[in-house]
Structure 1
Amino acid sequence: MAAPVAADAGVDERGTLRAAFGGLTTRGRSFVAAGLAAALCAYALGQPDLLRVGVLLAALPVLCVLVLHRTRSRVVTARRLTPDRVAAGGEARVHLRVENVGRLPSGLLLLQDRVPYVLGPRPRFVLDRIEPGGRREVTYRVRSELRGRYPLGPLELRLTDPFGMAELSRSFGASDTMTVLPHVEPLPYVRLGGNADGAGDGVRRGLVAVGEDDVIPRDYRHGDDLRRVHWRSTAHHGALMVRREEQPRRAQCTVLLDTRRTAYLGAGPDTAFERAVSGAASVVRHLAAQGYETRLLTGAGQLVPGPATEAREPAERIGLVMDVLAGAEPEDERPPETVEAVLRSAGGGLVVAFTGVLDDGQCAAFARLRPGRGTAVVFVIGGQRAPEAEAAQVAALRGAGWTALLLPPGVPLGQVWQQAAAEQAGQTGQTGQAGRRHG
């Protein structure tokens, strides 16, 4: 989606004329010095013609400064980013518009937009004079292989006169933000546990209406049957309300991302933390496409979407989650009770976790995060310790009831995801057989 266009009149840096004269170029200063020298010689020698030449030489740079000093406040700019959210490795276009709102034509314009080095070199453009009321548009591309939020701007503008006597600068305060989303891996469509009470595939459950007080009304929409109008609620709300005969119950999933700084080693695009973030983003996208009501829980106890944004549309909710993942960074360790309390308040359903290195104490604390009911899967990001230590961590989590799997470097998440579904299906089959034998 394209970012809105916003005009920016810029920061007025005209200041005093004394400051404006600081923009004289070497040529302009030379003309002033030559003009003053010619005027002094004309006075000493009594040559009026030489005085006229001196005045002309000195007046030309002064006139150029005065014109630029006035016209640089008559230029406005606007920036438009399309799109403002791209996946890692994707490309966005930045459109710059420069407009002359003054009554005089502008001189030569030099544009430079500030962008982070990871998006590429700073774009520079040279624009010829702009007539009064005219505008010019330029476009450049930005691209990043690393997720994150990157500021674009402010735009810097330099004006020069046709004679090269003066050069004045101006900075525009408006800036935009380009969001680079984490890399998302395609996952196979397999069933990963669940039931009808919000931990499964999501089913529509009818509302049991015992009387008028049990009816849950909603706003009237075009096309609704008028026989479903609930007149008592209509009179109470002052707007037409209809009976809601059934309510969709979506399956719930909480994706837990371990953001502890001590859980991941190294820095850069191929680190364990980046693989964990990419895995969380992949699961969020995949389960949302399957109809799950997906939420993200970070190691700091941040739940996204929160209570204030739960009523938004599914696409908006997923957008909020992806924005948080785009800016996720390793954090200091927090008490596990904080995450445990938030996880319990999030309700039941499927829990998918991504974690890094856990010592014995941290592993025991993480094991307690497993919900009492529903499916719980944890992916341990491998390649950070000896294979024996990673295997012991996976075994400890399995012993606590998690479906724990190691995600080694270079192994696609889809492969391990399918393995988790197979193990979960085997555990469900064994539980069913045990129940039948007991019966």
Structure 2
Amino acid sequence: MPDSGTENRGPLRAALSGLTTRGRSFLAAGAAAGVCAYLLGQPDLLRIGALLALLPLLCVLVLHRTRSRITAARQLTPARVSAGSESRVRLRLENSVRGVPTGLLMLQDRVPYALGPRPRFVVDRIESGGRREVSYRVRSDLRGRYPLGPLQLRLADPFGLVELSRSFTAYDVMTVLPKVEPLPASPLGGDAAGHGDGGQRTLAVTGDDDIIPRDYRHGDDLRRVHWRSSAHRGALMVRREEQPMKDRCTVLLDTRRRGYDDDGPSSAFEQAVSGAASAVAHLIARDYAVRLVTDTGAVLPEQDSERPDPTETGGLILDGLAVVDHSDGHGFEGARETLSRRDPGLVIAFLGSVGAEPAEQLAGLRQRGGGAVAFVAAGQLDPMLEERRMERLRERGWTVLAHRPDVSLAELWQSASRQTRGL
């Protein structure tokens, strides 16, 4: 997104504050020469004093005018990247002052600490109507949204008498998404009700009494007009088109702070977030209707669409995962309440450490005959205790796998596929 801004012209009094030590010395020397010329009656000394005093003032006027007429634009490519990937930032400066070139320009773009040191550039004079472009790269191993900018600009005259600063107001946002791991095509189950091999079913509408007509829209075929409903409503109604019922899947992400014992890019929580992002991207690519639910009951995307765009849905979920943080909850009551409003279909959960009470709450999330797979972060507790806690979920019909840092999610996905198919 372009980052451009302009700044209102400040009073000359503020511009005079940009005089350097050399510029102030010139003013003082000019004033002293003027006083001496008056006392001694030396007109030549007066001309020298006037030159010394007027030179820094002239530089102030020129830079003050130039500063307000320099425009800047920022281009971020791409604006959304995965953690560990780079993005290039291009800064373009343009001098729109007629007939007046700029002096030396010093640029500094504000970037968060997580993206690296602040980039600084020195740009030589820009002729009237000219442009200059500089670029730098940013990357982060931490997901999140990071503001880039505003750009700070410092102008200096060729004599080093004046330095004026300007700060633009506009900024761009770089979104760092969780890492997405490619997953194998091995299905975990799920038809339109959450079961099967991932095919689609079609809701056929035949007959006059078993359909739900909708309002007529411009361009609809008149042969699809439902006359009985039109007469009843007093407006044209048409039969709905056959609509495919997509396989449904709910990805559950455990964000409870008490479920994880560490932080950082390689923590178990980040592993769970990355796993959820990988599952969402994989399932959407296989044409599932996917939504993400956290332990608190938060849902992404927030609203279900009649004909959702898979690319848009995936983007909304990944953007939400880029900024998801720990919750202070103790269990999964919020998730259970949210999922009770609609059949969740296949449930794929990425969990932290799960105690007895949360395990009981998770048991109710699995629908009768539906699939439920849990990837539980391992390596945080005693191995025997972790196994007992995972066994609680298995007893309630879940397929449970230990998600260890040294085992890829792709391997676990294949193992889960074999278990859910009874192989």
Out of 355, 366, 372, the residue aligned to residue 359 of structure 1 is 355
Residue by residue, what CA displacement relative to the aligned partner does 1:233-268 show, whole Å, maximum 9, x if unpaired?
A: 9999999x9755421110011100000111111121
Structure 1 residue 148 and structure 2 residue 150: aligned? no
Structure 1 residue 252 and structure 2 residue 248: aligned? yes
Does the 8 A contact of 2:192 with 2:201 survive in 1? no
Cα RMSD (Å) of the superposition?
2.7
The answer to which of 36-45 and 165-174 deviates more is: 36-45
| Aligned-partner Cα distance in 1 for 2:368–2:47 | 96
1:366 partner amino acid: L
Cα 1:339–1:108 change in 2 (3 A) is same
Out of 70, 76, 79, the residue aligned to residue 75 of structure 1 is 70
Out of 102, 124, 130, the residue aligned to residue 126 of structure 2 is 130
The answer to which of 326-335 and 389-398 deviates more is: 326-335
Structure 1 residue 102 and structure 2 residue 97: aligned? yes
Deviation for aligned residue 1:50: 0.7
TM-score between both structures, scaled by the size of structure 1 = 0.88
| Aligned-partner Cα distance in 2 for 1:23–1:310 | 60
The answer to which of 244-253 and 102-111 deviates more is: 102-111
Structure 1 residue 43 and structure 2 residue 48: aligned? no
Cα 1:144–1:197 change in 2 (3 A) is same
| Aligned-partner Cα distance in 2 for 1:199–1:237 | 42
Cα 1:31–1:309 change in 2 (3 A) is farther
Tell me, what secondary structure is at the counterpart of 1:307?
coil
1:282 — aligned with what? 278
1:351 partner amino acid: V
| Aligned-partner Cα distance in 2 for 1:86–1:305 | 20
Deviation for aligned residue 1:291: 1.1
Cα 1:386–1:72 change in 2 (3 A) is same
Cα 1:123–1:238 change in 2 (3 A) is farther
Tell me, what secondary structure is at the counterpart of 1:23?
coil
Tell me, what secondary structure is at the counterpart of 2:179?
coil
Out of 190, 204, 208, the residue aligned to residue 207 of structure 1 is 204
Residue by residue, what CA displacement relative to the aligned partner does 1:88-123 show, whole Å, maximum 9, x if unpaired?
A: 222211121212223233222211111122222222
2:83 partner amino acid: A
Structure 1 residue 184 and structure 2 residue 180: aligned? yes
Name structure 2 gaps, 5 residues minimum: none
Cα 1:62–1:245 change in 2 (3 A) is closer
Out of 166, 172, 175, the residue aligned to residue 171 of structure 2 is 175
2:337 — aligned with what? 341
1:22 partner amino acid: S
Out of 412, 416, 421, the residue aligned to residue 416 of structure 1 is 412
| Aligned-partner Cα distance in 2 for 1:213–1:189 | 37
Deviation for aligned residue 1:220: 7.8
Tell me, what secondary structure is at the counterpart of 1:7?
coil
Does the 8 A contact of 1:295 with 1:304 survive in 2? yes
1:329 — aligned with what? 325
Name structure 1 gaps, 5 residues minimum: 430-439
| Aligned-partner Cα distance in 2 for 1:336–1:257 | 10
Does the 8 A contact of 1:112 with 1:124 survive in 2? yes
Cα 1:415–1:22 change in 2 (3 A) is same
Tell me, what secondary structure is at the counterpart of 2:17?
helix
Structure 1 residue 317 and structure 2 residue 313: aligned? yes
| Aligned-partner Cα distance in 2 for 1:360–1:203 | 37
Deviation for aligned residue 1:298: 1.4
